[in-house]
Amino acid sequence: MNIPVSVIGGYLGAGKTTLLNRLLADPQGVRLAVVVNDFGSVNIDAALIANREGETISLTNGCVCCSIGDNLALALHDLAERPNGPEHIVIEASGVADPARIADYAASHPRLFLDGIIVVADAETVRTRVHDKYVGDLVRSQLETADLVVLSKVDLIDAAAFRQVRAWIAAEMPGARIVAAPRAGQVADLLLSGATGYAALSRPRADGEHARQFATWSFVHRQMLDGDALRTAVAALPPAVVRAKGIVRLVEAPERRFVLQLVGRRWSLEPEPVGTQDALASDPSVIVCIGLADQLEPEGLDALFASTPVAALPGAVRDLLQGEATT
Amino acid sequence: MPGPITIFSAKKIITMDPAVEEATHVAVRDGIILELGTLEECAVWGPYTLDDRFGDSILVPGLIESHAHLLDGLLWAKAEYVGPIDRRDPSGKLHEALKSVPALVKRLKEIEATISDSKTPLIGWGVDPSLNDLVDPITRHDLDQVSKTRPIFLLHASCHLAYVNSATLELANYAAIKAPGVLRDTSGAPTGELQEMAAMMAAIKAVASDLVGASTDTAQFFNFAKVAQARGATTIVDGGGSTYFEPAFLQAALAATGSPDFPVRIVAHNNGITVPKVEDMIAAATSLKDKGNDKLTFQGIKILVDGSNQGFTGRLRAPGYLRTGANGLWNRAPEELTRIVSAMHAAGMQIVAHCNADQASEVFIEAVAAAQAEKPRADHRHFIVHGQLLDEAQLRRMAALGISATLFSNHMYYWGDFHRAHTFGAFRAAAMNPAATALRLGVIVSAHSDTPVSPVDPLLTMWAAVNRVTTTGRVQGPKERVSAYEGLRMMTYNAAWLLHRDHEIGSLRVGKRADFTVLGSDPLTVEPMAIKDVPVLATILGGRVFSVAG
């Protein structure tokens, strides 16, 4: 299987480390590799450390934390080629890095692919930072690159200020997908694509804070889907949807299953890699969207996806397609 | 028991000492200058051996390369030089500039014919099409003319790009590598040009893995030293990326430099580049303080503030890069830099800060100002490396705060036209590397090559500061030209001062080290445009003569 790579960017002090700490402490069963600039910044709980060897710390929960050393590409290639290596890689971009440049590294090895660029922004200070004479251009470009913006430290500002900063980002960066949390770590589980196959689509845990902020909408259909209709629907998802995953069967290639991945603005719909099991006629198409609880409108999503099953096509066309699909 | 005395005679000895400027003889004992003057004046110390092989030559204080990188030595060890600039290799052999793609292909074919094993990759370095007469891109089709089966990998002079042939693309499975830096033609096939490490790494791992990771090959130290020595250097800086704090690397460095045949002194900056935390930088610098030897010492901690101007990653003040107004990249956040500078300053360290463009310099100068306010320190000798766009206001502030600089004078020659046309425009290109203004304002400056970025050649660097001429012959910023005397002082005393070594080297005076460069003519009196062609006949290091090939 190919390995998804997430890039966590954002200026100093935004909360990247909090997010990484949470991921390492609770990787949700995913064999995770976190690549950091400096071990010192992650403060891994000593009880979690199984072994430390050079640039790699192995944890008792199966995760590893690697320091970039002087060559990020080398660190990533090493992870990509490890036997029994990670199922997901998260790179901490430095506070002054352009996350898009770091994301290029996800395409530096055939086994890696970019899952998404997550930029953490300090809700209290981000609007002043973008006017800083030294780093304003950098902070702005980091936000512009984000597939998903995580507004952190929202507990330090009042509701009106929060609405203002969210509206400001939405206005400055059209199409931005924004989640908010008092601590960036609280949105950690949004980042992991989780186990592979249908197991990845089980509902995310609904602990208190998470349940208050996020809602889930899902779609299960026994029929194959129309690829173009599905792509159109995904492209039209409202900004309230911040994460989506799916395994679908498409009439355009009935012998394969396709994987839908969406992180904020970035999404892909790709056939499962060669070598995975052939699709079974009984495999359903399943899509799960995770969105902001106060904004997600299930009816809107129902309507958006209503035209994707081939059953929605005119009867004659549908019969023709289905006929081809089963022969 | 003092050792024997040798007296060297010369046509003229230029001391660069303000009190006694010239001599004809120098007496040396135990690596130290015993006397300078006439033969009679030197002879009063007692029995001596007269060495008059340089009797018709000019002796100057050993030239100092104030900013270079050991990587130069590694590249000579692991790859073939095929760049558009004349360079001499460690054996003294001249590799003539390859200034067009056909010339490059012809040379590569010659090299290819000498490699017997059919699988051995052909690795080259120093390529830079932007300096070619015809700025044509290099493609896999060009390199396939050299070989379709042997992997070829050519590293760009900037180390940010590479060019490969079809065999390398196939071996490293570039069909499956989607990094945007893998340039593709209209059919979607890779052109062979790989931009940035994300695109280059698969090829490096497949065919040139020697070029990444810390090498402990002792040849890199000798190569680094020999190339510089052949151009008259007796002291060279290893500018900060090396990992001397790793025992295996330190051991390799000590083994090489400990050899009596090692021809230069290396002053290595401590690594503040790949070490993330300031406490670790300070700890490593402290522990290395006394770990060197006669030819390897550690001085200052090198940090990076921004990127490179020709790569458009230097941090500029308004209005930014020419036409686009874009700005470059910080290597460290300004507020983090301020903390690091403050901690190093308070710990008594010397800070060596890579600041290529003027906003980077501004942030560093302000960080030192804040550190000085917290803890005033005299004679810290913090200095800026490159400082290419320093202006009068910054230089005055540097003078007030005790900051000095080593300027990138070679840039005016090699990239002066490029900067005028593409990065800075006319005014800023003419104002680059303002050595004359710096010296007038009391800022002590040296100049450097930054090898492998440009060839290590102190006389060429002096020539560049004195003439400010570009490769097309344009004089840019004539007001910033320095005199030949100032130019030589930049490459001797001033460099020694930056390195806290001016009590030992950098000028000739009784009691200082017997480090000399032997020249065929007087660089202070030749036609200024001929300074770079003054022959280097030999160097003398601690009284020992090292010949120069050719």
What's the pLDDT tens digit per position in B163-175?
Answer: 999 999 999 999 9
Of B179, B276, B363, the CB nearest to A107: B179
In this predicted structure, which of A49-53, B296-300, B359-363, B446-450 has the lowest mean pLDDT?
A49-53
Any domain includes B307: yes
Note whether B173 contacts A110, CB cutoff 8 Å. yes
Q: Taking residues B157-162, what's their average pLDDT?
A: 89
* Residue B137 and residue B36 share a domain: no
Question: Same structural domain for residues A181 and A74?
Answer: yes
Integer-rounded Cα radius of gyration of chain A: 20
Q: Is residue A289 part of a domain?
A: yes
* Domain-embedded: residue B222: no
A157/chain B closest Cα distance in angstroms: 23
Specify whether A116 is located in the same domain as A218: no
Kindly state whether residues B394 and B483 are assigned to the same domain: yes
Residue B241: its pLDDT value, please?
Answer: 85
Average pLDDT, chain B: 96
Domain of B22, in residue numbers: 5-56
Alpha-carbon gap, residue B145 to B153, rounded angstroms: 14
Return the CATH number at A77: 3.40.50.300
Q: How many CB atoms lie within 10 A of CB B361?
A: 30
Q: Are residues B359 and B434 in the same domain?
A: yes
Same domain membership, residue A23 and residue A107 = yes
> Over 80: is that where the pLDDT of A275 sits?
no
**Residue A180, pLDDT above cutoff 80:** yes
CATH code of residue B334: 3.20.20.140
Q: B400-452 pLDDT, tens per residue? A: 999 999 999 999 999 999 999 999 999 999 999 999 999 999 999 999 999 99
A195 within a domain of the structure (yes/no) = no
Residues B50 and B89 both lie in one domain: no
Same domain flag for B452 and B496: yes
Q: Read off the pLDDT band of B355 (50, 70, 90).
A: very high
Residue B263 has pLDDT above 50, yes or no: yes
- Is position A153 within any domain? yes
pLDDT in tens, B131-154: 777 678 899 999 999 999 999 999
Q: Residue B545's pLDDT band (boundaries 50, 70, 90)?
A: very high
Where residue A189 falls among pLDDT bands split at 50, 70, 90? confident
B467 and B415 in one domain?
Answer: yes
pTM of the predicted model, to two decimals?
0.91
Window from A193-197, A223-227, B517-521 with minimum mean pLDDT: A193-197
Judge whether B171 is closer than 8 Å to chain A, CB to CB. no
Tell me what percent of the residues of chain B surpass a pLDDT of 90: 93
Residues A94 and A12 in one domain: yes
Does residue B168 share a domain with residue B106? yes
Contact B221, A144 (CB under 8 A): no
Query: Looking at the domain assignment, is residue B340 inside a domain?
Result: yes
- Distance separating the N- and C-terminal Cα atoms of chain B: 38
Shared domain for A179 and A210, answered yes or no, is: no
Residue A326: pLDDT band (50, 70, 90) is: very low
Q: What is the pLDDT of residue A327?
A: 42
The answer to whether residues A87 and A168 belong to one domain is: yes
pLDDT at A317: 60
Structural domain count of chain B: 3
B120 and B51, same domain (yes or no) = no
* Residue B268, in any domain of the structure: yes
- Parallel, antiparallel or unpaired: strands B122-127 and B80-81: parallel
Are residues A62 and A181 part of one domain?
Answer: yes
Q: Do A304 and A211 share a structural domain? A: yes
The answer to whether A101 contacts B200, with C-beta atoms less than 8 Å apart, is no
* Selection from B304, B296, B251 nearest residue B276 by Cα: B304
Residue B189 domain-assigned (yes or no)? yes
Nearest residue on chain A to B360, judged by CA atoms? A134
| pLDDT at residue number B130 | 79
Give the minimum alpha-carbon distance from A37 to chain B in angstroms, rounded to a whole number: 7
Q: Which of A190, A214, A233 is at the close of a domain?
A: A190
Nearest to B197 among A40, A73, A96 (CB): A73
The chain-wide mean pLDDT, for chain A, equals: 86
Question: Both B273 and B358 in a single domain?
Answer: yes
Query: Residue A182 falls within a domain, yes or no?
Result: yes
Say whether pLDDT at A196 is over 70. Answer: no
Same structural domain for residues B336 and B405?
yes
* Min Cα separation B330/chain A (Å): 6
Q: Residue B35: which CATH number? A: 2.30.40.10
Task: State which residue of chain B sits closest to A137, comparing Cα positions.
Answer: B327
Same domain for B290 and B366, yes or no, is yes
Contacts of A42 (CB under 8 A, 6+ apart): A17, A20, A21, A24, A34, A36, A65
A297 to chain B, closest Cα gap in Å? 36
Chain A CB within 8 Å of residue B276 CB: yes
Number of domains making up chain A:
2
Domain-terminating residue out of A132, A166, A190: A190
Cis peptide before B452 (omega within 30 of 0): yes
Q: Rounded to an integer, what distance in angstroms lies between the CA atom of residue A302 and that of residue A307? A: 9
Question: In terms of domains, do A215 and A182 share one?
Answer: no
| Residue A182 sits in the same domain as residue A222 | no
Q: What average pLDDT score do residues A113-133 get?
A: 94
Does some domain include residue B232? no
B199 found inside a domain: yes
In whole angstroms, give the CA distance from residue A246 to residue A218: 9
CA distance between the termini of chain A: 29
Residues B294 and B174 in one domain: no
Report the CATH number that the domain containing residue A282 is assigned in CATH.
3.30.1220.10
Contacts of A12 in chain B (CB under 8 A): 333, 335-336
Does residue B352 form part of some domain? yes
Torsion on CA atoms A126, A130, A131, A137, rounded to nearest 10: 160
Q: Which range (A77-91, A203-217, B137-151, B245-259) has the least confidence? A: A203-217
Q: Which of A172, A190, A208 is the last residue of a domain?
A: A190
pLDDT at position A223? 83
B248 touches chain A (CB under 8 A): no
As a whole-number percent, the residues of chain B with pLDDT over 70 amount to: 99
- B-chain residues within 8 Å CB-CB of A95? 333, 336
Range of the domain at A117: 3-190
Closest-approach residue (CA) in chain B for A68 = B274
Q: Report if residue A240 sits inside a domain.
A: yes
